[in-house]
């Protein structure tokens, strides 16, 4: 019986994400190096380039037997750990990242301390049925977070496309 493969995140040397992904592909290791469009200011003009969304991260989908193969890959520093074990990234989170990048051209990633806020669910659009926390409301848009490895992918969605799943009124309580 084959062991189930799970997604993990590996930490790479700086600016080696694409190179590590290529090496892993040659080794037959399933991996994902999410990339987004960014503006790069050159000497004479501004051009669009594809850069890794998560600096120094590559996601690998492996079984326990493949850990040593991945760890010995040139450019990889180590696995990302959570509670002294290699952190597992849920399949759903990888799919959300892929879908998010497919639907949005210029995605921003923010490293933020997440606090408990209202949990929302998206009713329509590319992220339908996904849940997230409201971090700000501006005009007709809700800025939503999708946490993954301590990072937040941000999108602005029209408020008509969301419904509140769980309200948090902690801000109304006396300290």
pLDDT digits (tens, 9 = 90+) for 136-169: 555 444 445 555 556 666 655 555 555 666 665 4
Q: What is the dihedral of CA 7, 11, 12, 13, to 10 degrees?
A: 180
Tell me which long-range contacts 32-39 makes (C-beta under 8 A, separation of at least 24). Answer: 32/7, 32/58, 32/59, 32/60, 32/61, 32/94, 32/97, 32/98, 33/58, 33/59, 34/59, 34/97, 34/98, 34/101, 35/101, 36/101, 36/106, 36/107, 36/109, 37/105, 37/106, 38/106
Name the class of domain 6-89.
alpha beta
Per-domain boundaries in the chain:
6-89, 108-172
Question: For the structural domain made of 108-172, what CATH number should be given?
Answer: 2.30.30.30
pTM, full prediction: 0.68
- What is the overall mean pLDDT for the chain? 75
Q: What is the DSSP letter of 45?
A: -
Instruction: Write down the pLDDT at residue 110.
Output: 64
Percent of the chain with pLDDT over 70: 59
Question: Does 69 have pLDDT greater than 90?
Answer: yes
Tokens of 166: 């769980």
pLDDT band at 73 (very low <50, low <70, confident <90, very high): very high
Nearest C-alpha neighbor of 133 from the set 154, 105, 158: 154
């Amino acid at each position: 019986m084959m062991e189930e493969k799970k997604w993990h995140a590996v930490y790479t040397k700086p600016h080696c994400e694409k190179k590590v992904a290529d090496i892993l592909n040659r080794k037959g290791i399933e991996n994902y190096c999410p990339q987004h469009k960014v503006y790069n200011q050159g000497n004479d003009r501004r051009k669009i380039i594809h850069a890794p969304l998560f600096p120094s991260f590559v996601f690998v989908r492996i079984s326990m037997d493949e850990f040593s193969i991945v760890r010995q890959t040139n450019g990889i520093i180590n696995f990302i750990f959570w509670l002294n074990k290699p952190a597992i990234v849920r399949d759903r989170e990888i799919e959300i990242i892929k879908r998010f990048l497919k639907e949005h051209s210029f995605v921003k990633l923010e490293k933020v301390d997440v606090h408990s806020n209202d949990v929302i669910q998206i009713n329509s659009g590319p992220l339908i049925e996904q849940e997230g926390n409201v971090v700000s409301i501006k005009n007709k848009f809700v800025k939503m977070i999708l946490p993954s490895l301590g990072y937040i992918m941000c999108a602005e969605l029209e408020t008509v496309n969301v419904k509140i799943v769980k309200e948090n009124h902690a801000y109304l309580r006396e300290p």
